[in-house]
Amino acid sequence: MPTTIPAAGTVPWRVHGHVLQVALVHRPRYDDWSWAKGKLDPAEEWPVAAVRETFEETGLVVRLGVPLPQARYTVLEKDGVPGDKVVRYWAAQVTGGDGRLVNEIDDVEWLDPRTAHDRLDYARDQDQLLALVRWHQAGLLATWPLVLVRHARAVGRGSWKGSDDTERPLDAAGRARAVALGPVLAAYGVDRVVSSPSKRCTATVQPFVDEAGVRLRTRPGLSEEGFADDPGRAVHHLQRVLEKGRPTAVCSHGPVLPALVDVLAGVAGEAGAADRSVLAAAAAGTFDKGEALVCHVAGTGAGARVVAVERHCP
């Protein structure tokens, strides 16, 4: 049976002179035109690999947007054994980089969709292009991420010797998850973090805050205690995030998050059935410790709409 080879990539896009354009890469080894992509490193998460591979092949720093259809096909590995390659793709906006080609690529071209469709060498790559064009035509391609994070595993209440539960720290597995979570948040371009002041929440996002150099804002209304006193405060904080429309991570607790997910589910009418099912499951309380629920939002304030959802679990 073929082994599974996980890979990830992006379709960078821009609107240039009122015309949608996408970036294709040329690989001299195969003399083909395709999307920037590559295999996951050991223990690497899919969105992290997508951003890394795009930079390594194009010199462009990108922020992931809505997920696109995955590709699945058989390849021969170096030992001649067939492998089942699975590539996950995202639409991506360029946020930096000098475009210097650094790895296996000798050309990058920005093309309009029709020209790109004709240039692509593999029919399977057209699926991502067509999906991206549909998002654009619907006016939903330009999104920003709102990431709900449940704090990572903490020392159990029964094992905690302190008198103040808000000071209960992460355990070893929780600390490891906090470190792994940072690159995931970075892949979506998060530049604002709002958290419960409880130590198990702030410690979950602290590695990302330190690496990204962003400010950590704490809100008592996102804590378990604050939510028990007034559930409306947590919802208010989420609504403020929707009004600002900035790439934001919100870290809170298991009892609090379903109320926040309910708000997002209420503005997810344009999301697909699978996305709404993910929100329904999260609202029902199936939110893993250390999970990041990425909601792709189009618009802000009263016009905000969740159009796609992803779960990234430990």
**Domain regions of the chain by residue span:** 3-137, 144-312
Residue 271's pLDDT is 87
Q: What burial letters (b/e) apply to 28-50, b meaning 16+ CB within 10 Å?
A: eeeeebbbbbbebeeebbbbbbb
pLDDT tens digits, one per residue of 182-210 = 999 999 999 999 999 999 999 999 999 99
Mean pLDDT of 174-186: 98
CATH number for the region 144-312 comes to: 3.40.50.1240
> What per-residue confidence (pLDDT) applies to 239?
97
Question: Phi and psi at residue 271, in whole multiples of 5°?
Answer: -80, 160
Superfamily of structural domain 3-137 = Nucleoside Triphosphate Pyrophosphohydrolase (3.90.79.10)
Contact 255, 112 (CB under 8 A): no
Amino acid present at 295: C
Q: What is the pTM of this model?
A: 0.95
Angle 273-283/257-265 helices, nearest 10 degrees? 150
Angle between helices 231-244 and 257-265 in degrees, nearest 10: 50
